[in-house]
Amino acid sequence: MEEILKYFPNLTDLQKSRFEVLGPLYREWNEKINVISRKDIDNLYQHHVLHSLSISRFVTPTAGSMLLDIGTGGGFPGIPLAILWPECNFHLIDRIGKKIRVASSIAEALELKNVTFQHGDAGECHEKFDYVVSRGVTQLDGLIKIVRRNISSVNRNKLPNGLICLKGAGLEDETNKVQHRFIEVPLSDYFCEEYFETKALIYVQL
């Protein structure tokens, strides 16, 4: 939790309390359903929560913005972002039912009213969104093909609508295949911890 307060010192009391209980909630669920590597659960706040929140260092959506978290797994990056941006709306989708069960149960425990869930493939989601976010989901060119039809043609934010995804290092092979305008940001620009030296954010305008 200290890592969150270090970079986000102006959280409201409600946001702080929600982030504080994420740790116990994920530990409890992870004992039943493995959504985070058991070797990595002690690093939940840095490797998963703070990593998810790196998206907020790149963009701040206006109130009412719609975001789709594709391949959310146990709720990343969607749930941390939904806590941080309570006036935005999030739809989290994953093809693995037990992971959606964990994510939806955690959102319910947090009393998050701005999050909905869908068990299924990305192709089964037919809504339009300002941004699609993802974390470690498939190759970039394939991901673009999957989510293009989910991007709204109406821009309400300064940053044009598109895909924002979190990736590891060594992205040249992936980005070389991208035909759209994109921006790559090393997460070490945002956070000083060693973990982020090999992480990057990719934004693709769609």
pLDDT tens per residue across span 34-68: 888 888 899 999 999 999 999 999 999 999 999 99
The half-sphere exposure of 178 on its side-chain side, counting CA atoms within 13 A, is 21
Two structure tokens written together for 121: 């493939």
Tens-place pLDDT, residues 103-141:
999 999 999 999 999 999 888 999 999 999 999 778 888
pLDDT at 181: 87
Element (H, E) at 34: none
- 88 Cβ contact partners less than 8 Å away, ≥ 6 residues apart: 61, 63, 64, 65, 66, 67, 81, 82, 114
Give the span between the Cα atoms of 169 and 98, in whole angstroms: 29
Distance CA 204, CA 171 (A): 14
This prediction's pTM = 0.95
